[in-house]
Amino acid sequence: MEQKVSMEKGYLRIPAGRVVLEGNLLIPEQAKGLVVFAHGSGSSRHSSRNQYVARVLRDSGLATLLFDLLTMDEEAEDLITGRLRFDIGLLAQRLVGATDWLQSNQATSHLRLGYFGASTGAAAALVAAAERDIVGAVVSRGGRPDLAESFLDRVKTPTLLIVGGQDFTVIDMNRKALAKLRVEKKLVIVPGATHLFEEPGTLEQVAKLACDWFVKHLEPKGLATVN
């Protein structure tokens, strides 16, 4: 069912299987593509880090969808148990549901899609990309691709893995995942950054790297900038 979206606030409700999820969709004029965010452990669409990256992407002409992968009741349960944030199958299913909705909606069906995943959300993004090969690009920030290990050789989407230079355990996980990916791929280690990229200038580097990757892979051919 198509839904009109307020371009000021971009709030919408997305049907995904048996649940309805809340999100914010913002589409710049003459958008070059659309990036769907999959947040990480214990986070939501209100994540300040993802909100920042989304603003940078929109400034470059990319539409963004930040949405909650869990319902309010599920989030309340997860705050107690911490279980659902690691249910990669469930999170990927929700991401696939949002993808299908975007593909059927008149306002977004013409836009090439990318996924930006953080922490466990990155694993969900890789699983969803394996399930929906229409996805044009994946970017992982401090991701846990090891949680999507059995799907990595099925991913057909160009994938950029970004990890903080001080996030030693996650660096190792991403290196192993990189070796298993059979697509265009790249691992970038941001010097001095920890898992959440809270150090001055590090999140800006993430946003620039993500923006370049998405513009390269999502822009319609003929519109991409030649360097």
Pick the closest to residue 141 from 187, 201, 82, 81 (CA basis): 187
Residue 79 corresponds to which amino acid?
L
Q: Please, which pLDDT band fits residue 18 given cuts at 50, 70 and 90? A: confident
164-195 burial code (b ≥16 CB/10 A, e <16): bebbeebbebbeebeebbeeebebeebeebbb
Whether 1 shows a pLDDT value over 80: the answer reads no
Most confident of 1-5, 101-105, 136-140, 223-227: 136-140
pLDDT at residue 224 in the model: 46
Residue 1, domain member (yes or no) = no
CATH number at residue 208: 3.40.50.1820
Residue 161, domain member (yes or no) = yes
Residue 192, domain member (yes or no) = yes
Give me the domain span that covers residue 44: 11-218
Residue 224, domain member (yes or no) = no
Residue 155, domain member (yes or no) = yes
Q: Please, which pLDDT band fits residue 71 given cuts at 50, 70 and 90? A: confident
Q: How many domains does the chain have?
A: 1
- Using one digit for the tens of pLDDT, what is the confidence trace for 141-186? 999 999 999 999 999 999 999 999 999 999 999 999 999 999 999 9
